[in-house]
Amino acid sequence: MTRYTMVIDLGRCVGCSACQIACKLENTVGEDSFLSYHEVVTTGEFPQVSYKYIPTMCNHCADAPCVAACPVGALYKRDGLTLHDPERCIGCGACVAACPYGMVTLRDAAGYAAFDATSAIIPGGTATGREVAQASGALVPYGNHGAQTALTYAEEHKAQKCCFCIHRVEKGEAPYCAEMCAAGARLWGDADDPESDVAKALAAGAVEVSHPDYGTRPSVSYVGTFGR
């Protein structure tokens, strides 16, 4: 069996947000939408203040509420991942309401308008997606590079979430957020392979998950303490 998972070492994380940028680039994520994001937790009172930066994404829960809530089977489990089939998706939003982490959203066409603007923002420049495409001879970007979904960015009300870059994983590559993490804070691999980095990190103990009280058994785990 394969059980893909990610372990984030907060002791290595520098809060640079490269993971968020990488995710947007790889998956053509619209404006004001994030498949990879972060929480900032500040505790204490000045001058004794503690600051934590916690990267977040879909937790690919073993007991995924979004999968249970989807009436058409568009969300499903495979190899430990929670994946989405846009062809089945009817955009009802049941998965959005069911996710206690707020990591499933519905696509908003307005957020993708810049990718296909019909008029130049700066004459002769390359400020919009269409201008870049015309200047480079490339195609106008379409959602997720045909990976997680074959939807065009203009199609509204279809669910979207982190798929751990399944199009890369199927080629033996790591999710792009892990590859682009300059600090090496993201470990990726098969938790059922005792020789993998993630299995060793999980076996070392002192592992946390986001909101264990939700009872969803997240596959994304955290080790270490931010800033140390």
Residues 150, 175: Cα–Cα separation, whole Å:
18
Mean pLDDT of 11-17: 93
Residues 29, 138: Cα–Cα separation, whole Å:
18
Per-residue pLDDT, 113: 66
Rounded to the nearest integer, the mean pLDDT of the chain is 85
* First CA to last CA distance, the chain: 35
Per-residue pLDDT, 151: 43
User: Taking CA 95 as the corner, what is the angle to CA 73 and CA 172, rounded to the nearest 5 degrees?
Assistant: 65
- 147-156, 164-173, 217-226: least confident range: 147-156
Mean pLDDT of 56-76: 97
Comparing C-alpha atoms, which of 7, 51, 58 is closest to residue 37?
Answer: 58
> In this predicted model, what pLDDT tens digit does every residue of 193-202 receive, in sequence order?
999 999 999 9
Per-residue pLDDT, 33: 84
Domain limits, the chain: 4-223
Per-residue pLDDT, 155: 60
pTM strictly above 0.95: no
Structure tokens at 205: 């103990």
Residue with token string 């999980």: 202
Determine the residue type at 10. L
Residues 92, 64: Cα–Cα separation, whole Å:
17
> In this predicted model, what pLDDT tens digit does every residue of 92-151 receive, in sequence order?
999 999 999 999 998 877 776 666 555 666 777 666 666 776 777 766 554 444 444 434
Q: Is the pLDDT of residue 72 over 60?
A: yes
Residue with token string 């490339």: 138
Mean pLDDT of 14-18: 93
Which H/E stretch holds residue 95? Answer: helix 94-98
Q: Is 9 helix (H, G, I), strand (E, B) or coil?
A: strand
Q: Is the pLDDT of residue 89 over 60?
A: yes
CATH of domain 4-223: 3.30.70.20
Note whether 72 and 90 are within 8 A (CB): yes
Q: Is the pLDDT of residue 56 over 70?
A: yes
